[in-house]
Amino acid sequence: MSKDWIIWAVTLWIVVFMIAGQAVATCLLGAGILGIMLWMGPGVLNGIVGQDAFYTASTYTLSIIPLYLLMAQLLLKGGVIVDLFRVGHRIAGYRRFPLGVATLITGGLLGAVSGSGTASAAALATLAGPELQRVGYTRSFSVALAAISGSLSVIIPPSLLIMIYGSLTETPIGHLFIGSVGPGLLCILVYVGCLYFFGDVVPGAEDGVRGDQEEEDPAATRRSVSAFIFVVALMVVVFGGIYGGIVTVGEAGALGAFAAFVGMIAMRRVGLGDIGRALVDSVKVSAMLLMLLIAAQIFSRFMSFSRLPTELLHFAEPLVASPTLLILVLMFGLFLAGMVLEEVTIIVLSIPIVLPMVQAAGVDLIWFGVIACFVISLGLLTPPVGLVAFSAATAARTPVGPVFRPCMLFSSISAFVVVAAMMLFPGIATWLPSHLN
């Protein structure tokens, strides 16, 4: 079989099985093994597949993922999402615009807790949506704001997407975490501005309406405030330790998981059953990600045999000669992919192809990783799929069509402002990592 036909056969394999609904890891693993067998012969498999699987599974970088997942799961099982929003609701004083800002900030804090955009959006849609409606925002806009806030989890550390990018590109994850802080804060500010100018309010709606009586319960208020202070202190210790050079990223993950375990038990937020479920959920997600990365490594091995990235690099030489144009084209492609695919799938599929181009153009991998994750987060808000927006609409049991309209407006403005700012001032993403001890 000719080399061109082998590449077409592997491509067809991926397309057919993904359309059939197979897991991305299964599609990539099968495509990688098929491509290697057709290209090099079946005898090569014994010396490649096993070694690649062992190498990927034993990579130190991946060991930190279960730690951050366990920290997130313990905090989620402890119910801190409700407490974060309660405190934000309280600080907002039950007024419309401050409550919307509090929802965005809560979404940013959830990004530091859960690392999952779809989970954060669904939680905020059920918690914040009714309160936003009560102060005068329309139902569709309230759900859209919850989705927009949840999408911040993709860019706010400790984002799973950033960790996977770091593992695939062998870029220090601690530097990526710190580098995403500036763009994440800038994105929140842009969303706040959009909320002020484009907030969709019911005509004649009253502002300053007080919430449910549950908010006035002193015991519930103290419980929420203590949980809020604990989460903020935990994030300061974890990421302050990384930036200060006191602990490594792995040590910070272990410290965060242990502190979350002790804190949730001390505050009587979790029992043995909750701890068991947190461990099980962490193991499930870790195993899924590990299988995905093993499959990506084997598929990348086939890509290196086929020299397809090299051929694409020659084809893209005019773009490589103009790094700005290359980045714009790649960002547009990632944005389109974010419309229809899940964020981890996009990174795993795209990195083996675009990494040689980015390296040849001399683009900083930390800067590229941060801006790529940010653009993917915007794609998750836009149709035709828009997984984060769809997750929020499903959780709130509202049609997704009206939810997409505010999401598209916010994401378009944010894309223009944040991407332009990062390209004009790369230090937004690289200055803090350059000072990391």
Give the Cα separation of 257 and 51 in Å (integer).
31
Output DSSP code: residue 210. -
Nearest to 50 by CA among 301, 353, 344, 352: 301
Give the Cα separation of 343 and 323 in Å (integer).
24
C-alpha 159 chain-centroid distance: 5
Pull the structure tokens for residue 147: 């989705």
Which residues, 6 or more positions from 135, have their beta carbon under 8 angstroms from its beta carbon? 94, 95, 96, 99, 205, 207, 208, 209
Give the Cα separation of 192 and 232 in Å (integer).
21
Place of tokens 């001390």: 266
Rounded-to-10 torsion of CA 151, 156, 158, 164: 70
Give the Cα separation of 295 and 269 in Å (integer).
38
Nearest to 152 by CA among 380, 425, 394: 380
Pull the structure tokens for residue 5: 């036909």
Give the Cα separation of 279 and 277 in Å (integer).
5
Q: Which amino acid is at 165?
A: Y
Give the Cα separation of 81 and 303 in Å (integer).
42
pTM of the complete model: 0.83
Residue 28: CA count within 13 A, CB half-sphere:
25
Is 297 in contact with 30 (CB distance < 8 Å)? no
φ, ψ dihedrals at 193, nearest 5°: -65, -40
Is 408 in contact with 145 (CB distance < 8 Å)? no
pLDDT at 37: 85
Mind listing the pLDDT tens digit of every residue in the chain (437 residues)? Answer: 677 788 888 888 888 887 887 777 888 888 888 888 888 777 766 667 777 777 777 777 677 888 888 888 888 788 777 777 778 777 777 788 888 888 888 877 776 565 566 777 877 888 788 888 888 889 999 999 988 988 888 888 878 888 889 888 888 888 898 899 899 899 999 999 999 998 888 887 666 655 444 445 677 778 888 888 888 888 888 878 887 778 888 888 888 889 989 988 988 888 888 889 889 988 888 888 888 888 888 888 888 777 776 777 777 778 788 888 989 989 988 888 877 777 777 888 888 888 888 988 889 999 999 999 899 888 888 887 777 888 888 888 888 888 999 999 999 999 899 999 999 999 999 998 887 76
**CA-CA distances (angstroms) from residue 44 to 36, 38, 47, 284, 308?**
8, 10, 6, 31, 19
First to last CA, the chain: 53
Max intra-chain CA distance, the chain: 74
Pull the structure tokens for residue 117: 């955009």
